[in-house]
Amino acid sequence: MKQAALLSRALRFSSFSSFSSFSPLSPVSAACLVLAALTALPALAQQNEAQAREARARGAKGDEAPTLPAVTVQARQVREKVQELPFTVNVLDEAQLEERRLTSLEDVLRGTPGVEVNSWGGVENANVRIRGVGSLYQGSSDDNSVIVNIDGAPVSVGNVGPGTLDVEQVEVLKGPQGTLFGRNSTAGAINIRTRKPQLGRWEGSARGEAGSSRQHLAEGVLNAPLGQQAAARLALRHSGQDYWYRNTLTGRPVSRPRDEALRASLLWQPQAATEVLLRASHHESGRYQNALRLRHGTGRYSDQELTSAHPLDGNFTRTGLYTLQVQHDFSGAQLTSVTSHERNKGFNINMTGREMMRLYMGVDMDMPQVLGYKGDSWNQDLRLSSRLGSRVFWVAGANALRRDSRNLDGRSFSVDADALYGETTWPVGASGLSLTAGLRHTRERKHYQSTQSTPAGVASGSVRERYTTGRAGLGWALSPQTRVYLTWARGHKSGGFSGSDFSDGAGDGSYYRPGRVDSVEAGLKHESADGRLRLDAALFHNRIKDDRMAAFNPATRLTRMVNVDTRSQGLEAQAHWRLGAGLTASGGLTWLRARIASGDVTTPIGVVRNGYRLPDVPRLSALLGLQWQRQLTAFWGLRSPALNARLTLRHVGRRAANVENSFDLGSYRKLDLRVGVSSGAVEVYLWADNLLNARYDLYGYYMGGGLQGGMSARGRSAGVGAVYFF
């Protein structure tokens, strides 16, 4: 059997080490950290008052700030005010990430209206769609529609690594972003900006959390000056949990996943106009699996019935990202060079339990799926741009990419790409009108080789592509507070070779065609004169030619990629409103209609008909948040205590589970709460996730013959945390 061959090959794949040496911080240790902070709270509250006031200004004393803070982004590689952009951007700052407990990129994306994530139980294979645009199923690790940029370095969604560790801001850019971000950004892009070292300042923080199901987190950040022209910053995080589903043969959780992450940064500023910034990050996770559990028609899931008590102990994923950024400011321009190197490696045994195999194949045994990979990539970006506040926005640059990857089953892939790009927004006289135009021309070369033993021999393939993407738009400032815009964008998604370990034709170099997206967006951005209300709204329409879908064959348990056309259109709105008395309301919603627009396509498990709904895309998704911040009367010896409470409600509507529309995943509402009290340099908080205990579907999969699989989310959980700023 193919699985047996892969298991045998895995034993010889010596470069993939076991995760058994992973030594986590125990929940007891995390709890002790929190209890120690609680015990020391009155004493610590007297220390470092000046630094604490500055730290807390990012969060707990919002009643002293009656207006919303100004928001600047780097959505076009240059700092700009978010209100001036000709497309929609969802922005999450450091305080929001912390208070909503968004510790991973998957958490951020699931909490953004209009963004859908099918992670198959593991983020390394996450398939992300924005406004219904994105692969129906991924054909390979290179088949992405959403690119992630971490401090200017492009990475795939599955290789984000430290996630939101010591992050200053996350920007979710909606609509094709191929002009400036290049390949694999047909649906949008995600900009992650980490905090850089601060010159001349000793500062940092320490955080601990402990909660139900052995959830625990320990995190530390330190900023240290190195003379007058240099500084260093180090951030560390460890977290862990029990899986929320059990092995029925042992009565215990199937696994206890763990994560460790670090980021080190070094800043050198030889003169005021020049800075050199070196960053290195590492992330290691273990004991996860891309799980397929038995789903019943009511939406209830069975636990897994596994023969081994610890089948996932050897599973691991490692990611390293190294970035060198050199920037120099001229009187009217800014020159930036970003060089990045990414390395990733992983080995996973994903278990299908006996309860599923009895129904699926008629055998009383569990089934492992063995997956392994390693990859290496280099990226160089050089650009010249305008500076913040310039009357005319412009940027021009060149980019080069080299990526190599190898799978456990004997297949290797390589990508070489280079591009020239530029974009400008030009004001037209004093009328308030502005024109936006951008172009990017890319050359790509892809090569594929397979040395699988079945079928015998070596298969290979190569392909070359040249394509041009761009954006054009018209903006109009109706008043100093209100702008409207109309933007058209063209996106391109490269063709390629199937990279799935269980794809039909994986050894014969099967090629799927490139895709194209044409998107139109009309929007309005308004900020009230008193700075208390910010409102954005947009209408959009997307036409996708030759998107990808995976046709699953239950008889062979393999998939083959098929190209289909799709359409999506809808409206979005988001608002932030400082109500007064310490209350701030925020929210957003997306109404979306996304359909198949090709002729009928027959697959082994059904027919994909013209007009069918796109999988995982709800008609309505919405987010509502309410924050209350106020000063409290002194108690327990605390000086100037402050309350910071945040309630967040997310609604996701009913959506199709697969492209054949075989069954639906139900709608759900997820309610989260965080209540904290800060005094001086310390904050102690209680948190509760999924207060309504919604056991919603993370994804669904149709196996044929009425058999459904998938994964449910974690139910209600709660805990306590503490953070100390110094």
Q: What pTM was computed for the model?
A: 0.88
Mean pLDDT in residue range 503-513: 59
- pLDDT beyond 90 at 688: yes
pLDDT band at 34 (very low <50, low <70, confident <90, very high): very low
Please choose, from the candidates 116, 268, 265, 105, the residue with its C-alpha nearest in 3D space to the C-alpha of residue 196. 265
Strands (E), 455-508: 459-479, 482-493, 496-497
In angstroms, the CA 505 to CA 498 distance is 8
Task: Give the pLDDT of residue 496.
Answer: 79
- pLDDT beyond 90 at 40: no
CB 561 within 8 Å of CB 503: yes
Q: Which residues, in sequence order, are CB contacts of 161 under 8 Å at separation 6+?
A: 150, 155, 261, 281, 282, 283, 319, 320, 321
| Residue 416 identity | D
Task: Give the pLDDT of residue 50.
Answer: 44
pLDDT band at 498 (very low <50, low <70, confident <90, very high): confident
- pLDDT beyond 70 at 636: yes
- Choice among 245-259, 350-364, 485-499, 585-599 with the minimum mean pLDDT: 485-499
- pLDDT beyond 90 at 97: yes
pLDDT band at 143 (very low <50, low <70, confident <90, very high): low
- pLDDT beyond 60 at 56: no
- pLDDT beyond 80 at 561: no
Look at 29 and 126; give whichever has higher pLDDT.
Answer: 126
Q: What's the token pair of residue 207?
A: 């955080």
Look at 691 and 550; give whichever has higher pLDDT.
Answer: 691
Mean pLDDT in residue range 454-467: 77
In angstroms, the CA 719 to CA 700 distance is 30
CB 509 within 8 Å of CB 461: yes
Torsion angle (degrees, nearest 10) of CA 4, 10, 12, 13:
150
Q: What's the token pair of residue 626?
A: 């309410």
In angstroms, the CA 148 to CA 167 distance is 14
Strands (E), 108-242: 115-118, 127-130, 146-150, 153-155, 167-174, 188-194, 203-211, 216-225, 230-240
Domain count, the chain: 1
In angstroms, the CA 363 to CA 343 distance is 39
Look at 14 and 400; give whichever has higher pLDDT.
Answer: 400
Task: Give the pLDDT of residue 649.
Answer: 98
Task: Give the pLDDT of residue 141.
Answer: 66
Task: Give the pLDDT of residue 652.
Answer: 97
Look at 590 and 60; give whichever has higher pLDDT.
Answer: 590
Mean pLDDT in residue range 5-16: 43
Backbone angles phi, psi at 271, to 5 degrees: -150, 165
Q: Looking at residue 646, which CATH number applies to its domain?
A: 2.40.170.20
Q: Is 580 left (phi over 0), alpha (psi -120 to 50) or beta?
A: left
% residues pLDDT > 90 (the chain): 63
Task: Give the pLDDT of residue 703.
Answer: 87
Task: Give the pLDDT of residue 27.
Answer: 42
| Residue 96 identity | Q
pLDDT band at 500 (very low <50, low <70, confident <90, very high): low
Q: What's the token pair of residue 453?
A: 């033993």
Return the number of other C-beta atoms located less than 10 Å from residue 422's C-beta. 20
Mean pLDDT in residue range 178-198: 90
- pLDDT beyond 80 at 292: yes
Mean pLDDT highest for which of 72-86, 117-131, 479-493? 479-493
Mean pLDDT in residue range 432-438: 95
Q: What's the token pair of residue 643?
A: 């309350």
pLDDT band at 45 (very low <50, low <70, confident <90, very high): very low
> How high is the mean pLDDT of the chain?
86
Query: How large is the greatest C-alpha to C-alpha distance in the chain, in angstroms?
Result: 77
In angstroms, the CA 368 to CA 363 distance is 14
Domain span holding position 492: 2-725
Task: Give SS3 for 107.
Answer: helix
Please choose, from the candidates 48, 153, 170, the residue with its C-alpha nearest in 3D space to the C-alpha of residue 98. 170
- Choice among 325-329, 375-379, 533-537, 656-660 with the minimum mean pLDDT: 656-660
In angstroms, the CA 464 to CA 561 distance is 19
CB 146 within 8 Å of CB 128: yes
Task: Give the pLDDT of residue 316.
Answer: 94
Give residue for tokens 């971490």: 150
Mean pLDDT in residue range 678-705: 94
- pLDDT beyond 90 at 139: no
Q: What's the token pair of residue 154?
A: 């492009």
CB 74 within 8 Å of CB 150: no
Compute the chain's Rg from CA coordinates. Answer: 25
CB 381 within 8 Å of CB 152: yes
Mean pLDDT highest for which of 33-42, 59-68, 397-406, 555-564? 397-406
What's the pLDDT tens digit per position in 575-618? Answer: 999 999 999 999 999 999 999 998 888 888 888 999 999 999 99
Please choose, from the candidates 584, 566, 451, the residue with its C-alpha nearest in 3D space to the C-alpha of residue 517. 566
- Choice among 208-217, 276-285, 549-558, 560-569 with the minimum mean pLDDT: 549-558
Task: Give SS3 for 255.
Answer: coil
% residues pLDDT > 70 (the chain): 85
